[in-house]
Chain A
Amino acid sequence: MTSTEQIPIEDIPQWQKDLDQAGFVRRFLLGRRWFGADWWFAVISGVLLIFVFSMAIFPGLYAPFDPRQEVGPGQLAPGQIPPTFVLVGESGGATELDDLIGEDVRIGIVIGSESAQVMREVAEQREEELKAEGQNVMLRPRPERYGTIEEALEGLSNGEVPAVIGLKDEIEPLLVSYPDLVIGEALSGNIQKPFLLGTNQIGQDVLSRVIWGTRIALLVSFSAALFSLFVGVPLGLIAGFWSGGLERVLTLVMDSLYSFPGLILAIAITSVLGPGIMNVIVAIAVLYVPTYYRIVRGQTLAVKEELYVEAAWSLGARPFAILTRYIFPNVIPSIVVIFSVNVADAILTEAGLSFIGLGLPPDTPDWGIDLASGQNYMRQAWWLITFPGLMVMFVTLGFSMLGESLSEILNPRLTEN
């Protein structure tokens, strides 16, 4: 007479029946009731991370521009519309730059403004275009400098110059006094949309760089964390399972490495290896091997003593079977938690390395590199350091929040009775 035969079906708890019938999705939703805010932490960070992943895999879908291309004027604040320069001429006279072909045509500009540069750039571009069409012409106007825009317009209406180039916003209100002047073509600022996060010192779009930076950060941190997982976990399992002299030496080495400041070790390695994405991955991967090793070895030692493992031994299970079937499954939750925390840490380390100027080639769209170059423009352009840093923070936050809530959920020592 065994007692199980006697249990009426009613005695199986309802929640267990529910769970047996519930699919994966429902089980997942049931977790909300069990784990409260930790469940929300995990879910929110999960959603955040899915978004981040999609950004890393398809940065082109999110980024409006090429991260390396200089798409606008330098140091444009977020939301600020790039200034538009226009050509002003007399009505019936020149209204386009093409009307001013020649080598000694003078165009009025204001001293110290960017108008001269705009004029030169657009003129060169037009000349190229005209030449490509087969017209052999010179389009090289010279600047006639005035102290203020009013003086320049005065000069234009006096006939001193055939045209004036200036900021559209400044000229428009003044035209009331000069009825015979008209605004001609716009010479720059074809982009009338503001840059959402501004532009950096050389006119690259900050938003696009920040989005493309996700790819580098995730590539480096994931590869590094995976690499150390594949080295550290087997080593830890073996060391915990077969204790001995070799295991002691290995443990000592791992403990020493673990106690050493990770970033400094990574600095040492990358400074010797030189720049390159593989080198950074290797340098960071080395840091986390001891983490996996220590945790996995510790747990293996603990699980090895459990009764059910001893029972398996006594039933004649092979060491390999015990290792893979009894011990390894017990270690998986910790590995998941460590992995996610390590990825977070690797992102920070990678950013730190690039910030110092080690690791990646300097024009890489990378958060650390952008922060380092932004530091020089901190006083004028706050957005250069704010957004890459926020991005590092959010992605790191996603991974550490996931790790934290998973460890809270998976750690049986923390469950209340």
Chain B
Amino acid sequence: MHISPLTGICASSLGVALLLIVYAFVRGSKGLRSYIVTRVLLTLPMVLILVSVIFFVMRVIPGDPVTSELGPRGTPQAKERMREQLGLNDPIMVQYVKYLGRVVRLDLGTSLVQGNRPIVDELSERLPATLELVVPAMVVAVGFGVLSGTFAADRRKRPSDYGLRLFSITVYSMPIFWLGLILQVIFGVGLGIMPVAGRIDAIVNTTLDRYTNLLVVDSIITGNWAALGSSLHHLVLPVLTLGLALTGVFVRISRINVIESLVEDYILAARARGIRERVVVYRHALLNALIPIVTLIGLQFSVLLAGAVLTETTFSWPGMGLYLVERIGQRDYTAVQGVITVFAMSVAIISLLTDIIYAFLDPRVRY
């Protein structure tokens, strides 16, 4: 049986999520357990709502996919043929149920362009590229953002605080694609030291055997160091762009939450016990603030995905975002619907995970 990389990645990430949930379930208290069960059950309606919203947005809103697909000049016969082919002649609720059934089986339909390939197959080539971009960007943003946010909170109302705040508002206010363009102009065009498009050099690419389609992983497991260097080189600017754009939000979130925990009584009490200031700020205050920060970071995941769409467009990065934009241009609306559905499902799973991590981190029973 052929297992596509998408199925593989979905299965493995679901597996990891499941392991985490099971771990929390086993280690956690009784209250945590029942919370996990309710939260998992709550995810199902959330996915259902998102998938339904996508379905109805794409179908019910005035504007007919067939007309937009064939253009106003499409002949009535061609339109009719297409409607039949897409099942658009069924009543809307029938279409809806059929669509839900397909989504459950991870069948997102077939593309309307390029040899009518299954969307799932196409996405399985694209999803790893997006992951390879998004994960390091998130690490950069969280690492830098949380630490400097804590630093700013500690220096509240001093110049370094205002400086960091100004920095965070400025990067937040930059259009992410513009940041990418500027980095391209400086490092790609001006200095000529960074590639501005693609994931890997074309020549090196031919030497790389692909298993996971995560180029960094593939080049490590096959020991292809040239490919590793090239793919890392291509990663620098996109990751920097996406990471920097998110950093602003994280500086802000961390700063506010650390400030809120710094005014708590237990901080004063810790100081009164002679605990070192560094420990007070980075252990007592930050760890307490991390609990809300984790949740907020979970919510930022959607900002990350939106940012990924723009970053991929700017850097011609062949991920899901670029796929979405390309297919909108080609009016391949099955593909558009499919890729958005995948986005929605990943958002739901991430939000489930952050909520459970939150509950697990916070020892206070208040589910």
| Chain A positions near chain B (C-beta within 8 angstroms) | 36-37, 252-253, 255-265, 267-269, 271-274, 344, 348, 351-352, 355-358, 368, 371, 374-375, 378-379, 382, 385-386, 388-389, 392-394, 396-397, 400-401, 404, 413-414, 416-417
Contact B49 A352 (CB under 8 A): no
* Chain B residue nearest in CB terms to A398: B173
* Chain B residue nearest in CB terms to A279: B63
Given A37-B162, A259-B347, also A272-B184 (CB < 8 A): no
Cβ of B165 within 8 Å of any chain A Cβ, yes or no, is yes
Contact A413 B260 (CB under 8 A): yes
Given A274-B63, A358-B328, A378-B189, also A264-B173 (CB < 8 A): no
Contact B172 A400 (CB under 8 A): yes
Kindly list chain B residues whose C-beta atoms are within 8 Å of the C-beta of A374: 181
Contact A259 B172 (CB under 8 A): no
Given A344-B173, A352-B177, also A268-B49 (CB < 8 A): no
Kindly list chain B residues whose C-beta atoms are within 8 Å of the C-beta of A264: 305-306, 309, 324, 340, 343
Give min CB distance, A357 to chain B, whole Å.
Answer: 7
Cβ of B145 within 8 Å of any chain A Cβ, yes or no, is no
Is the interface on chain B under 10, 10 to 19, 20 to 34, or 35 or more residues? 35 or more
Give min CB distance, A197 to chain B, whole Å.
Answer: 15
Contact A273 B61 (CB under 8 A): yes
Contact B54 A268 (CB under 8 A): yes
Cβ-neighbour of B175 out of A253, A256, A393 (below 8 A): A393
Kindly list chain A residues whose C-beta atoms are within 8 Å of the C-beta of B177: 352, 355, 371
Compute how far the CA of A264 lies from the CA of B338 in the bound complex, rounded to whole angstroms: 12
Contact A378 B181 (CB under 8 A): yes
Contact A355 B313 (CB under 8 A): yes
Kindly list chain B residues whose C-beta atoms are within 8 Å of the C-beta of A268: 54, 57-58, 336, 340
Total A-B contacts with CB atoms under 8 angstroms apart = 157
Cβ-neighbour of B336 out of A253, A271, A357, A375 (below 8 A): A271
Compute how far the CA of A44 lies from the CA of B309 in the bound complex, rounded to whole angstroms: 33
Cβ of B279 within 8 Å of any chain A Cβ, yes or no, is no
Kindly list chain B residues whose C-beta atoms are within 8 Å of the C-beta of A252: 42, 45-46, 49
Cβ-neighbour of A356 out of B170, B173, B299, B325 (below 8 A): B325
Most chain B beta-carbon contacts within 10 A, residue among A252, A352, A396 = A352
Cβ-neighbour of A392 out of B50, B175, B185, B259 (below 8 A): B175
Contact B306 A371 (CB under 8 A): no
Cβ-neighbour of B173 out of A257, A273, A400, A416 (below 8 A): A400
Given A268-B58, A371-B181, also A355-B175 (CB < 8 A): yes
Kindly list chain B residues whose C-beta atoms are within 8 Å of the C-beta of A371: 175, 177-178, 181
Cβ of B329 within 8 Å of any chain A Cβ, yes or no, is yes
Query: Which B179-234 residues sit within 8 Å CB-CB of chain A?
Result: 181-182, 184-185, 189
Cβ-neighbour of B185 out of A253, A258, A382, A416 (below 8 A): A382
Contact A414 B259 (CB under 8 A): yes
Question: Main secondary structure on chain B at its contact with chain A?
Answer: helix
Most chain A beta-carbon contacts within 10 A, residue among B162, B177, B340, B348 = B177
Contact B50 A37 (CB under 8 A): no
Compute how far the CA of A259 lies from the CA of B175 in the bound complex, rounded to whole angstroms: 21
Given A261-B302, A348-B175, also A272-B49 (CB < 8 A): no
Kindly list chain A residues whose C-beta atoms are within 8 Å of the C-beta of B174: 389, 392-393, 396
Cβ-neighbour of B170 out of A368, A388, A393 (below 8 A): A393
Cβ of B53 within 8 Å of any chain A Cβ, yes or no, is yes
Give min CB distance, B98 to chain A, whole Å.
Answer: 19
Given A267-B328, A268-B336, A268-B340, also A389-B49 (CB < 8 A): no
Cβ-neighbour of A260 out of B42, B50, B157, B165 (below 8 A): B50
Kindly list chain B residues whose C-beta atoms are within 8 Å of the C-beta of A400: 169, 172-173
Most chain B beta-carbon contacts within 10 A, residue among A36, A37, A257, A268 = A268
Compute how far the CA of A261 lies from the CA of B54 in the bound complex, rounded to whole angstroms: 12
* Chain B residue nearest in CB terms to A396: B173
Cβ of B131 within 8 Å of any chain A Cβ, yes or no, is no
Compute how far the CA of A389 lies from the CA of B156 in the bound complex, rounded to whole angstroms: 31
Cβ of B93 within 8 Å of any chain A Cβ, yes or no, is no
Kindly list chain B residues whose C-beta atoms are within 8 Å of the C-beta of A253: 49
Contact B46 A272 (CB under 8 A): no
Contact A397 B173 (CB under 8 A): yes
Kindly list chain B residues whose C-beta atoms are within 8 Å of the C-beta of A262: 302-303, 306
Kindly list chain A residues whose C-beta atoms are within 8 Å of the C-beta of B40: none
Q: List 12 A-B contacts (CB under 8 A).
A: A257-B49, A263-B309, A267-B309, A272-B58, A348-B173, A351-B178, A355-B177, A356-B328, A358-B328, A368-B175, A378-B181, A401-B169
Compute how far the CA of A302 lies from the CA of B344 in the bound complex, rounded to whole angstroms: 31
Given contacts A261-B347, A352-B310, A393-B170, 8 further A-B contacts (CB under 8 A): A252-B49, A259-B351, A273-B61, A358-B328, A379-B189, A382-B185, A385-B182, A396-B175
Kindly list chain A residues whose C-beta atoms are within 8 Å of the C-beta of B309: 261, 263-264, 267, 352, 356
Give min CB distance, B44 to chain A, whole Å.
Answer: 11
